[in-house]
Amino acid sequence: MDLDFLTQTQLFRDIPAGELGGLLGCLRAVRRQYKKGATLCRAGDRTESIGLVLSGSVHIESDDAWGSKSILNSVGPGQVFAETYACVPDEPLMVNVVAAEDTAALFLHAPHLLAPCTQACACHAQLIRNLLFVSAQKNLALSRRIFHTAPKTIRGRLLSYLSMQAIRAGGDSFSIPFNRQQLADYLGVDRSALSAELGRMRREGLLDVRKNRFTLRRTRPE
């Protein structure tokens, strides 16, 4: 186990590497290896384990009754998954967690994390604070997506998303972390319809775009 790597993750931030070994034992930590395409967590199951990706990546996927699949999120090294379900163990998972490539993951027993530590160790309290921070960040990300997908039109969703990216970048020129298909999936729209709308907005002088680089035009050309 690479303890130095764990200390660089949000979940184990500010916890000395020398104390991690004992803490992992307290949390019944288990390391597992998965081949690409393997399912780590299955919709309908219940879990008491918080997952942390050590290497590779996993997709959080949603399947409907007709077999359509949507990738809701991608989780990479150092990031956690299934923490909400692990903290509410009677709630069945609504999603699948699938290895997007060969992946190693660490699983931590949530009841032992949430229960009062018999030794009242400071690192245990820090871990709970870190988990709260991680959960708050994910709630913010979910709130942003709900905000961006609230408009009825594709243009409305694009304007909402791109305006927020400009605010976060501190300027009207910025890069987004999605390609066209990923942006369409994020906004819940068809890719070809998204590309067509971007073309119209560019012709109207609202923006310039090259791959994932955008520049917003606050005033339209004469």
pLDDT recorded at residue 119: 64
pLDDT recorded at residue 38: 96
Cβ 104 vs Cβ 55: under 8 Å: yes
- The fold of 3-138 is Jelly Rolls (2.60.120)
pLDDT recorded at residue 122: 75
Domain boundaries, the chain: 3-138, 147-216
- Its CATH class, for the domain covering 147-216, is mainly alpha
pLDDT recorded at residue 66: 75
- What is the C-alpha separation between 147 and 143, in angstroms, rounded? 6
pLDDT recorded at residue 85: 94
Each residue's pLDDT, cut to its tens digit, for the chain (222 residues) gives 788 899 999 999 999 988 888 889 889 999 999 999 999 999 999 999 999 999 999 999 888 777 777 778 889 999 999 999 999 978 999 999 999 999 999 999 999 888 866 665 678 889 999 999 999 999 998 899 999 999 999 999 999 999 999 999 999 999 998 899 989 988 989 999 999 999 999 999 999 999 999 999 976 555
pTM, rounded to two decimals:
0.78
